[in-house]
Amino acid sequence: MKKLFFSTSVLLALMLSGCDRDAQLASRNLSKAADQFEIDRRVVFYNGITGDYMLSLEGKCAIKDSNRQLEVTCKTGPNEFKKHFLGLSDNVTYFAEQMDGVGVSVYHNRIIWKPQSIMPNVDINGSTDDLVESMTKYTYNP
């Protein structure tokens, strides 16, 4: 009896875990598409006291809001990006607008896997002259 109750509970939990609302799944898939620079956005920073627009950014931009600071990374070319920072305060706010509609699935989660991200891109600073000099300087000569 306990096994039947346990297996029924597990089956019910699995069935309910796949019951996302369409809006939730579409929102997650839109966020993933924006983080892949596939969606055109307009991000506007607004001063609530003066009523002035402080900055407006348009393009394929990803947004990260963290601890009263907004980071906006925009793709400006095939391999070119710009990153903008703005501190948010009591009187400064922002809004982001998606410029065009984009088709996303409301039935499947979008999963992005980039195998090339496993291998790091290593930069080495220095010259061969410095390497030879440091090796000869610290070589033990009895």
User: Rounded to whole angstroms, how far apart are CA atoms 128 and 62?
Assistant: 40
Tokens standing for residue 23: 């809006």
Q: How many domains, the chain?
A: 1
Instruction: Note whether residue 14 is domain-resident.
Output: no
- The pTM assigned to this predicted structure is 0.65
Residue 32 structural domain: 21-122
In a domain, 83, yes or no: yes
**Per-residue model confidence (pLDDT) at position 83:** 94
Question: What number of H helices and E strands is found in the chain?
Answer: 3, 5
Can you read off the two tokens belonging to residue 134? 């440091």
Burial class (CB in 10 A: 0-12, 13-18, 19+), 41: buried
CA–CA distances in Å: residue 103 to residues 29, 48, 109, 116: 10, 34, 13, 27
pLDDT digits (tens, 9 = 90+) for 2-47: 776 666 765 555 555 556 687 888 888 888 888 889 999 999 999 9
| Dist. CA 43–CA 55, nearest whole Å | 8
In a domain, 29, yes or no: yes
